[in-house]
Structure 1
Amino acid sequence: MSLALDGLILLTGWTHVLLAPYTKVEESFNLHAVHDVLMYGVAPSSLPNYDHFVFPGAVPRTFIGSVLLAWISEPAIYLANYFGPVSSKFELQVIVRLVLATINAVGLCLIRHAVSRRFGRPTGLYYTLLTCSQFHVPFWMGRTLPNMLTLFPVNLAAYLLISRAPNAVKPSQRSVSASIALVVFSAVVFRAELAALGAALALQSIFLGYISFSRVFTVGAISSLASIALTVSVDSYFWGQPYLWPEWHSIHFNVVEGKSADWGTSPAHAYLTSHLPKLLLSALPLSLFAAFSSAPKRLLPLVFPSAVLVSAMSAIGHKEWRFVVYVVPLWNVLAARGLNAMTSQRKSSLFGRLLFLGAVGALLANLGATVLLTSAGMRNYPGGEAMALLNARASPPVRAHLANLALQSGASLFTHVHAPPYPSFFALNASAGEWVYDKTDAPTAAEFAGFTHVVGEKSSLPGAASNGVFGFLKSQRKEDAGGWTELGHVSAFERWAVDVDLLRHGKGKDGGEGVGILERVQGVLRLEERDRLWVLERTATATGK
């Protein structure tokens, strides 16, 4: 049973990777860093080829997670190539993401083992069902956001705090010390917001008598200095800047200078009223139920650190779900306790039967919401799909310009399958010649004259509005009008639409024939898509082929 539950967590993460293999721009720094480590290596002579020197981003990010992920992925790549030759660089992206999903699955499984040991196997089962039926953590656990790269050490810290015998009053000092050190390392190297979690964990450990103040101070100081030394050494090397501490730059840019507000601000209650309900789904009310049905002293070590983190992040104007995603496993433990309490009631009473039905309904509600969110998420990467279309249909030689939306929604370096660099540890087919994938922002007319293909946001050159890449071609390159042919276009998720007419009268908005009740229910909620990207090829006349 235990192995099956661990396998379910792993399978859930892998399924999300395979259903949505492309990536968004938020993942690009770490993903491209992994690409460069795999392709070029880490020798000093290789660093000038790295993508971050051309596209550095607003603030520098650490290479530590990316380098470790690349090195861990290499054996998996060799293994995959042994059993079935890897035919494109894009397959490497999928393997890297599967490796990351596996690492984070291990962290979630460790928490499950700790929960089963301390609170009983039924609670461990419910923790697994809650985790796998939610959307955000399973969908993103294989994506190279900094938050996902640091999710494993944070979950490992949670495991060390939870894992102990049911009758044990407190965790060992060694476990508490290691937990604090892991959170400090994560805050210093990966995500500064975890400093709030680390501070709360330290204060709680002192207050509950887990560890002395002097030991907390020693562990915190040593782990902080060691983590700073590590990130400064590694990142100064990769960025070519002396004494570089990326997370300090991030704090200064986003908090001191207040630049995070440029990405939008939300009210102080946004985490409580919007982000946490989306992250937790039914686990939120189940956690509240657990708070009133279990001994508060046993729940405090789970509640207090996550509450401090959410409160601290609520004081910052710019808010995103990923800044507090680390609390999800802890709240799932609380929710699992709630589910256990609901299903442990005597089924002979009406109250017990209602609670049992409520527990089943909560899991089914999770699953239903996740199916809808995953269906939309799968269709939200038009850039990746457009790159696949370009790579399959374009006639060489190819010099393709990738417009902004393509770069934002999936056109990663791993999708440049016909362009160097190629990995050294297995042979790739480069018989089609070396293509050029251009990521220039706002290219000039002279630069456009050299492009044989364009991946952009408008459907046609002659009638396009005067915006976007096609608008530029229309206004600056009038000789191109009529000189392009469409290889294909890609649609993406627009919205979920409810067909009220079908529900009421059995006829859809198109006025078609009436349908039965089952067909009505299935057709009421429709996923609507809109054309987003077009892949164009310059005609033979225009190119002089």
Structure 2
Amino acid sequence: MSLALDALILVTGWTHVLLAPYTKVEESFNLHAVHDVLIYGVGPSSLPNYDHFIFPGAVPRTFIGSVLLAWISQPAIFLANFFHLVPSKFELQIIVRLVLATTNAVGLCLIRHAVSRRFGRPTGFYYALLTCSQFHVPFWMGRTLPNMLALFPVNLSVYLLVNRAPNTLKPSQRSVSAAIALVAFSAVVFRAELAALVAALALQSVFLGHISLWRALVVGAVASCASVALTVSVDSYFWGQPYLWPEWHSIYFNVVEGKSADWGTSPAHAYLTSHLPKLLLSALPVSLFAAFSSAPRRLLPLVIPGAVLVGAMSAIGHKEWRFIVYVVPAWNVVAARGLQTMASHRKSSLFGRILFLGACGALFVNLGVTVLLTSAGMRNYPGGEAMALLNAQPAETPVKAHLCNLALQSGASLFTHVHAPPYPSFLSSSANNASWVYDKTDAPASLAEYTHLVSEARAPTAGTKGSSAFGFLKRKEEAGWRELGSISAFERWTVDRGRLRGSEGEGMLDRVKGVLLLEESEKLWVLERN
């Protein structure tokens, strides 16, 4: 059973990668850094070819996670190539994402093992079901957000704090010290918001007598200083700037200068009323129920550091679910304990049967919501689909394609430039002969040099303004372009109430299945010069 549950967590992460293999712009820095490390190497002569010198982004980001991910992906790439599973560069993207999903799955499995040891196998069982039935962590654990690179060390810290015998009152000082060091490293290198989590964890550990104040301060200071030295050394090299600490730049840009507000602001309660319910689904009420009613002394320490993180991030105007995603695994432990309590009541009583049905219902609610969100998520990468259509053209044809902004934001990563050099040495000779150009210039002055366009406009007219980079063109027929195809993507969910009435002889299940409809609309067009 234990191996099956671990496999379930792993397969869930892999399934989300394979169902939605393309990426969004938020993932692009780390993804493109991995691409450059794999394709060019890390030598000084290779660095001028790196994408971040052309598109640096608002603030610098660390290369530490990207370099490590590229290196640990190489054995998987070698194995896949041995079995002829890497016909193009795009398959490298899938492999890298599968490796990241595997890494984060290992962290989740370690937590499950610790939960089974401390709270019993049934609680570990429910932990696995909760984790796999939710949407955000399984869907994103194979995506190269900095938050997902930080998730593994944070999950290791949760494992260290939970992993002890049932009757042990507190974790060892060594485990607490290692947990503090891991979260401090993640805060310094990957995501600065984790400073709130490590501060809360350290103070709670001191208050509960798990570690002395002096030891907590020393561990935190040493781990932070060592992490600063590491990131400054690595990132100064890759960015070509002396004494560069990327996360400090992020803090200064987003918090001190307040530039994060340029991406939108939300009310202070948004994490509580919107983001946490979406992240945890039914685990949110179950975890709160368990934390305050079922052995609170054992469970509250898993909730409090995450609650402090949520409270601290609520003070910042710009809010996103990924800033607090780290609370999900620890709070799932508490929710799993709650489900175990609900399911273990005597079924002979009405109250026991109600609790058991409630536990089952919580998991089914999670699963239903996740199916809907995954169905929408799979259809939310028009840029990747457009690149697939463009790349389906004969490779030997000379092509210079312009990629519009929406395409770049929704899937047109460097790994989708499958017909552009440089190529890994193990790709087929037919691919190596192609030398397409994929141009990402914003609003080019002329399209005369392009043979293909990935456009946000089907038929822009002269003087048109808006999202299309081609608004100044006349109709594409007059400009000498023809459509190779259009790409539709998720628009909204709609409810067809008429389906509930159904037709004569139609079963209730068939009626219900057609009530909720996924609407798509055309987002991109792939054009070819006549």
Change (3 A) 1:479 1:280: closer
- Say which is worse superposed, 216-225 or 253-262, in terms of deviation: 216-225
Change (3 A) 1:470 1:63: closer
Unpaired segments ≥5 residues, structure 2: none
Instruction: Indicate conservation of the 8 Å contact 1:496/1:527, yes or no.
Output: yes
1:535 matched residue in structure 2: 526
Change (3 A) 1:166 1:407: same
Change (3 A) 1:431 1:220: closer
> Partner letter of residue 297 of structure 1?
R
Instruction: Indicate conservation of the 8 Å contact 1:134/1:367, yes or no.
Output: yes
Instruction: Indicate conservation of the 8 Å contact 2:400/2:436, yes or no.
Output: yes
Partner-residue secondary structure (3-state), 1:531: strand
2:119 matched residue in structure 1: 119
Deviation, 1:303, is 1.3
1:332 matched residue in structure 2: 332
2:23 matched residue in structure 1: 23
Partner-residue secondary structure (3-state), 2:60: coil
1:502 matched residue in structure 2: 499
Q: Write the distance in 2 (CA, Å) between the matches of 1:372 and 1:295.
A: 35
> Partner letter of residue 102 of structure 2?
T
Deviation, 1:429, is 3.3
User: 1:133 and 2:133 equivalent?
Assistant: yes
Instruction: Indicate conservation of the 8 Å contact 1:22/1:384, yes or no.
Output: yes
Deviation, 1:464, is 10
RMSD (Å) for aligned C-alpha atoms: 1.6
Instruction: Indicate conservation of the 8 Å contact 1:180/1:219, yes or no.
Output: yes
Deviation, 1:85, is 4.2
2:230 matched residue in structure 1: 230
2:200 matched residue in structure 1: 200
2:517 matched residue in structure 1: 526
Partner-residue secondary structure (3-state), 1:44: coil
User: 1:42 and 2:57 equivalent?
Assistant: no
Instruction: Indicate conservation of the 8 Å contact 1:400/1:436, yes or no.
Output: yes
Q: Write the distance in 1 (CA, Å) between the matches of 2:511 and 2:476.
A: 52
2:347 matched residue in structure 1: 347
Q: Deviations over 1:60-96 (max 9, x none)?
A: 0000000000000011000011122410000000000
User: 1:517 and 2:508 equivalent?
Assistant: yes
Instruction: Indicate conservation of the 8 Å contact 1:461/1:482, yes or no.
Output: no
2:155 matched residue in structure 1: 155
Q: Write the distance in 2 (CA, Å) between the matches of 1:277 and 1:241.
A: 41
Deviation, 1:299, is 1.3
Deviation, 1:231, is 0.2
Deviation, 1:517, is 2.6
Q: Write the distance in 1 (CA, Å) between the matches of 2:164 and 2:300.
A: 16
Q: Note the 1:71-220 alignment, pairs <5 A.
A: 71-220=71-220
- Say which is worse superposed, 202-211 or 243-252, in terms of deviation: 202-211
Q: Write the distance in 2 (CA, Å) between the matches of 1:406 and 1:538.
A: 19
Instruction: Indicate conservation of the 8 Å contact 1:422/1:428, yes or no.
Output: no
Deviation, 1:214, is 1.2
Instruction: Indicate conservation of the 8 Å contact 1:486/1:537, yes or no.
Output: yes
Change (3 A) 1:482 1:98: same
Q: Deviations over 1:363-404 (max 9, x none)?
A: 001000000000000000000000000000367210000000
Q: Write the distance in 1 (CA, Å) between the matches of 2:96 and 2:239.
A: 23
- Say which is worse superposed, 150-159 or 514-523, in terms of deviation: 514-523
Change (3 A) 1:471 1:40: closer
Q: Which of residues 482, 486, 501 in structure 2 aligns to 1:485? A: 482
User: 1:474 and 2:465 equivalent?
Assistant: no
Q: Write the distance in 1 (CA, Å) between the matches of 2:479 and 2:460.
A: 7
User: 1:375 and 2:362 equivalent?
Assistant: no
> Partner letter of residue 452 of structure 1?
T
Partner-residue secondary structure (3-state), 1:474: coil
1:406 matched residue in structure 2: 407
TM-score (norm 2): 0.97
Partner-residue secondary structure (3-state), 2:11: helix
Deviation, 1:426, is 5.0
Change (3 A) 1:464 1:350: farther
Q: Write the distance in 2 (CA, Å) between the matches of 1:261 and 1:514.
A: 55
Q: Note the 1:425-440 alignment, pairs <5 A.
A: 427=428, 429-430=430-431, 433-440=434-441
1:542 matched residue in structure 2: none
Q: Write the distance in 2 (CA, Å) between the matches of 1:85 and 1:328.
A: 34
The number of residues matched between the two structures is: 529
Q: Write the distance in 2 (CA, Å) between the matches of 1:272 and 1:467.
A: 35
> Partner letter of residue 456 of structure 2?
E
User: 1:59 and 2:59 equivalent?
Assistant: yes
Q: Write the distance in 2 (CA, Å) between the matches of 1:463 and 1:50.
A: 37
> Partner letter of residue 413 of structure 2?
S
Q: Write the distance in 1 (CA, Å) between the matches of 2:394 and 2:459.
A: 17
2:449 matched residue in structure 1: 450
Q: Write the distance in 2 (CA, Å) between the matches of 1:414 and 1:246.
A: 25
- Say which is worse superposed, 83-92 or 322-331, in terms of deviation: 83-92
Instruction: Indicate conservation of the 8 Å contact 2:460/2:476, yes or no.
Output: no
Q: Write the distance in 1 (CA, Å) between the matches of 2:463 and 2:10.
A: 46
Q: Write the distance in 2 (CA, Å) between the matches of 1:518 and 1:463.
A: 51
Deviation, 1:300, is 2.2
Partner-residue secondary structure (3-state), 2:522: strand
> Partner letter of residue 533 of structure 1?
L
Deviation, 1:430, is 2.2
User: 1:420 and 2:421 equivalent?
Assistant: yes
Q: Write the distance in 1 (CA, Å) between the matches of 2:480 and 2:361.
A: 58
> Partner letter of residue 422 of structure 1?
Y
1:460 matched residue in structure 2: 459
Q: Deviations over 1:274-313 (max 9, x none)?
A: 0000000000111122123312111121011011100000
Partner-residue secondary structure (3-state), 1:455: strand
Partner-residue secondary structure (3-state), 1:230: helix
Deviation, 1:480, is 7.0
Q: Deviations over 1:84-129 (max 9, x none)?
A: 2410000000000000000000000000000000000000000000
Q: Deviations over 1:465-519 (max 9, x none)?
A: 54444743425xx89725111111110000111001222x326xxxxx9844332
Q: Deviations over 1:228-256 (max 9, x none)?
A: 00000000000000000000000000000
Partner-residue secondary structure (3-state), 1:380: coil
Q: Write the distance in 2 (CA, Å) between the matches of 1:468 and 1:139.
A: 29
Q: Write the distance in 2 (CA, Å) between the matches of 1:69 and 1:390.
A: 29
1:510 matched residue in structure 2: none
